[in-house]
Amino acid sequence: MGLSIERLTVRLGQRTVLHDVAAELLPGRVTALLGPNGAGKSSLLRAMLALIPVESGRVLLDGSDMAALDARTRARRLGYLPQSAELAWNIPARSLVELGRAPHRSPFAGLGEADRAAIGRAMALTDTVRFAERLTHELSGGERARVLLARVLAGEPDWLLADEPLASLDPAHQLDMLGRLHGYAAEGHGVVVVLHDLSHAARIADDVMLLSEGRLVAFGAAEEVLRPELLEQVYGIGFERIGVHLIPTPPARVPHSPAGR
């Protein structure tokens, strides 16, 4: 049971971005997707959501093929928090959170009792009730990130798939967001999150999928995968473990290369 990825191969144009990736993800745990830029983390997430076509292999949710599911059914089970949140229109925060209920509402029905309750819960959980009536373009980055998380949580998905949810947040808001993701997993939901900061991964991940050049290099419990020698092999630089932190070595200054090189 859970979310199983079976020998997934994905091509975008001429490039094969995922080769034969396989893993079994379990609910109630946070799974971090790690790897250098271009390793295929976002593609894996999007393939799991059936947003991009797969070349071969499949993704099963509790035994049923995701690609064969009706789009609305899929939307009720998997929530997607994308990397760059586009907000085309300046609507109140509450209206934005309401959008997350779409998969549960029949096309022309208004908000029902269950919808209102779910929206209220999601906003309470993300601490966004205070600015529910404020326009989204007027929110700070941290507030907006929480409203967008509330939008996903309002859909009450069994699985939350988040693509770099910490980008553009300050350290305090990063920890806050990590805590909320962890809390969602603690309620028994599955959480899959793409992260860049290895220390963040060490802090919240139960399991880690380590990707490199479209291949799954390692998959397992966080403490087994987040080993300096394995990370060095993938990222091409050394790491040192200090407490929960994984610090790149040498920790000296970044070498300064002349412009144009």
Partner 1 sequence: MRRLPVLLVLGLIVLIGFVFSLTAGKVWVPLSAWGSGDPRWWIIVELRLPRALLGLAIGAVLGLSGAVLQGYLRNPLADPALIGVSSTAGLGAVAAILMGLGAAPLVLFGSAMAGAAAAVMLLALLVGRSGSALAFILAGTVLQSLAGSITAFLISIAPNPFATAEILGWMMGALTDRSLEDVVRALPFMAAGCAVLALTGRSLDLLSLGEETARSLGVRTGRLQAVIALGTGLAVGSAVAVSGVVGFVGLIVPHLVRPLVGQRPSDVLLPSALGGAALVLFADSLVRLAPGAEEVRLGIAMALLGTPFFFALLLRFRRSHAWA
Q: Which stretch binds partner 1 (CB under 8 A): 73-81, 202-210, 237-245, 251-259?
A: 73-81
87 interacts with partner 1 by CB under 8 A: yes
User: Minimum distance from CB of 58 to partner 1 (Å)?
Assistant: 18
CA pair distance 227, 234, nearest whole angstrom: 11
Among residues 55, 18, 22, the alpha carbon closest in space to that of 40 is found at 18
CA pair distance 248, 241, nearest whole angstrom: 9
Exposed / middle / buried, residue 64 (Cβ in 10 Å: 0-12, 13-18, 19+): exposed
Sole binder of partner 1 in the list 72, 116, 221, 223 (CB under 8 A): 72
Sole binder of partner 1 in the list 56, 64, 90, 233 (CB under 8 A): 90
CA trace torsion 214, 225, 29, 19 (10° rounding): 20
102 interacts with partner 1 by CB under 8 A: yes
User: Minimum distance from CB of 88 to partner 1 (Å)?
Assistant: 4
CA pair distance 53, 217, nearest whole angstrom: 23
CB 191 within 8 A of CB 13: no
Exposed / middle / buried, residue 227 (Cβ in 10 Å: 0-12, 13-18, 19+): middle
Per-position x/- string for 36-65, each x denoting binding to partner 1 as judged by CB under 8 A, each - no binding: ----------x--x-x--------------
- Give residues 151-170 in contact with partner 1 (rule: CB under 8 A): 151, 155
Among residues 220, 141, 136, the alpha carbon closest in space to that of 177 is found at 141
Per-position x/- string for 114-153, each x denoting binding to partner 1 as judged by CB under 8 A, each - no binding: -------------------------------------x--
* Cβ distance to partner 1 smaller for residue 76 or 227: 76
Q: Applying CB under 8 A, which residues contact partner 1?
A: 46, 49, 51, 71-72, 74-76, 78-80, 82, 84-92, 95-96, 99-100, 102-103, 107-108, 151, 155
